[in-house]
Structure 1
């Protein structure tokens, strides 16, 4: 995830998406919330029942990408209002949240945190989630 962060240097306020509704800043703010669910700061529950988690985890750990136009059950059809003044501020916040994510799993190696889609994930499963999630959204904006 950290290795992909430098790609955000190419993301500008007016960078257009290849699919979906998000602006560049919406995408970065969306990633902030996703990283917060993986660093212990944000627990919003899971939208899938525990009996579905093994199947969902198999997908997560596979090489298959997230589908385009996926409707996130947290967000729904509409976008959240922007929380930060501009894209550059959001990028800085994302970088700090990523640092906190790595710090969290360094200090809590056996932690299981609830992902809103995939259920309880350990550190390596969260890393797989973030890798797939960042790849999805960076591709959405032509950064990959």
Structure 2
């Protein structure tokens, strides 16, 4: 499984981000390219900031069922549900959001030497390798959504 922490995968993600345009057609879902760029920022921020958060124990079964799919080699299916706070409800400025996304991709790649990783607020504990794979897989899923 590719990881955002691997230089080759990082460079690939940056090149794919550069191919996105405001008019990139989506293959599925409802988001525009600008909304997708906004949507992809929060998971990267979680990894970069590494804030200590409480794991929401309310969804134990969902977490247990889906967690391994977050960082394995199998692609995610289209139109998966999204956490309500990550749904872009209004249009976003493409240039602003893609620049923020690219900066976060770089920031995330640069924390690859960190040894201590706090839990994800929903999915709980990940190893460093799993964090890198999760971040790559999420971006790959959405970049494929927009044909890049």
User: Does structure 1 residue 89 correspond to structure 2 residue 96?
Assistant: yes
- The structure in which a higher percent of residues are strand is 1
Match of 2:88 in 1: 79
Residue aligning to 2:105? 98
Instruction: Output one character per residue of 1:35-57: Cα deviation in whole Å (capped at 9) or x when no partner.
Output: 112212676854732x6645433
The aligned counterpart of 1:57 is 67
Q: Residue 37 of structure 1 is aligned with which of 36, 46, 67?
A: 46
The 3 A distance-change label for structure 1 pair 90 and 44 is farther
Distance 1:8 1:121, change over 3 A: same
Q: 1:14: which partner in 2?
A: 23
Instruction: Point out the more displaced range, 122-131 or 32-41.
Output: 32-41
Q: Which moved more, 1:66-75 or 1:33-42?
A: 33-42
Three-state SS of the structure 2 residue aligned to 1:113 is coil
Aligned length: 137
- Distance of 2:78 and 2:85 partners within structure 1: 15
Per the alignment, do residues 100 and 113 of structure 1 end up closer, same or farther by CA in structure 2, a change over 3 Å counting? farther
Root-mean-square deviation (CA, aligned residues, Å) is 2.7
1:67 equivalenced with 2:77 (yes/no): yes
**1:111 equivalent in structure 2:** 117
